[in-house]
Chain A
Amino acid sequence: MKIILNTLTKTIVRSFYKEFALFFLIGLYVCFGLLKSSDHIFLNTYIVSSGWLIGFYFLVWTVYNLLIINFLIRFLRKKENIFLYQSFLANKGILYASFSIVQLYLFAPALVYAAFVASIAINLGLYSIVFSISAFLFLSVVLPVFIYRNAIAKPDIGLCASSFLTLHLRFKKPYFSFFFFHLLESEWLKLLVSKGLSALLLLGLVQILQTDNADIRPLMIVVLMGFLPNFTLIGSYHSFENVNLIWFRNLPFHLAKKWLTALATFAIVLLPELFLLYRYAWVALPWYVPLLGYFFGVGLLTLYYCGLYLKIAADERFSNLIFIAAIFCFLAILFSINVLLIIAVVLALGLVTFFKTYYGYEYLVKVE
Chain B
Amino acid sequence: MLTLTNFRKEYAGFLAIEIPKLHFEKGIYWIKGANGSGKSTLFKSIAGLQPYAGSIVLNGQIDQMKSPVAYRKLVNYAEAEPLYPSYLTGNDLLMFVAEMKNASPEQVTELVQVFEIESFIKNATGSYSSGMLKKLSLVLGFLGNPDLIILDEPLITLDLVATEKIAILIQKYATNGVGFLISSHQSKEMDSLAVKAQYLVENQTIKLL
Q: Are A and B part of the same complex?
A: yes
Interchain nearest-CB distance for B135 vs A (Å): 16
The interface on chain A, measured as residues whose beta carbon lies within 8 A of the other chain's beta carbons, has a size of: 25
Is the Cβ of B69 less than 8 Å from the Cβ of A253?
yes
Selected from A173, A250, A360, the residue in CB contact (under 8 A) with B88 is: A173
**Contact in complex: B48, A169 (CB < 8 Å):** no
CA separation between A283 and B26, bound complex, in Å? 69
* Residues of chain B lying within 8 A (CB to CB) of residue A361: 51
- Say what secondary structure dominates the interface of chain A: helix
- Contacts A181-B85, A250-B49, A362-B51; A169 near B72 (Cβ below 8 A): no
> Is B91 an interface residue, CB under 8 A from the partner?
yes
Question: Are A250 and B47 neighbours in the complex by a CB distance under 8 Å?
Answer: yes
Contact across chains for B96 and A182 when beta carbons are under 8 A apart: no
**Tier of interface size on chain B:** 35 or more
Q: Which residues of A contact B70 (CB under 8 A)?
A: 252
> Does B89 have its Cβ within 8 Å of any Cβ on chain A?
yes
**B contact residues around A169 at 8 Å (CB):** 89, 122-124
Is there contact, CB below 8 Å, between A246 and B49?
A: yes
Q: In residues 54-77 of chain B, which contact A (Cβ within 8 Å)? A: 65, 68-73, 75-77
Please tell me if the beta carbons of B65 and A250 are within 8 angstroms of each other in the complex. Answer: no
- The verdict on A364 contacting chain B, using a C-beta distance below 8 Å, is yes
* Assembly CA distance A364 to B50 (angstroms): 10
Q: Are A364 and B12 in contact (CB under 8 A)?
A: yes
Complex Cα distance, B49 from A172, in Å, reads 25
Q: Which residues of A contact B49 (CB under 8 A)?
A: 246-247, 249-250
A359-B65, A359-B68 are contacts. A251–B87 as well, Cβ < 8 Å?
no
Q: Is B85's CB under 8 angstroms from A182's CB? A: yes
CA distance A175 to B85 in the complex (A): 12
Check A2 for interface membership: any CB of B closer than 8 A: no
Assuming A172-B92, A178-B85, is B75 touching A359 (CB within 8 A)?
no
B94-132 Cβ-contact flags toward A at 8 Å (1 or 0): 011100110000000000000000000011100000000
Q: Are B69 and A247 in contact (CB under 8 A)?
A: no
Contact call B85/A244, Cβ cutoff below 8 A: yes
Q: Please determine whether A250 and B85 come into contact, CB atoms closer than 8 angstroms.
A: no
Contact of B51 among A185, A247, A254, A360 (CB under 8 A): A360
A181's partner among B88, B100, B123 (CB-CB below 8 A) is B88
Q: Does A317 contact B (CB under 8 A)?
A: no
- Residue B147 interfacial (CB < 8 Å): no
Which residues of A have CB within 8 Å of B97?
A: 251
A245 contacts B by Cβ under 8 Å: yes
B-side contacts of A173, CB under 8 Å: 88, 92
Q: Which residues of A contact B95 (CB under 8 A)?
A: 172
Taking CB atoms and an 8 Å cut-off, the chain A residues in 142-172 that contact chain B are: 169-170, 172
Most buried by B among A247, A255, A364: A247
A-B contact pairs, 15 of them (CB 8 A): A169-B124, A172-B92, A173-B88, A181-B85, A181-B87, A182-B85, A247-B79, A247-B82, A249-B49, A250-B77, A252-B70, A253-B69, A253-B72, A255-B68, A359-B68
The 8 A-B pairs of least Cβ separation, nearest first, read: A252-B72, A252-B73, A181-B87, A251-B100, A250-B77, A252-B69, A250-B47, A249-B49
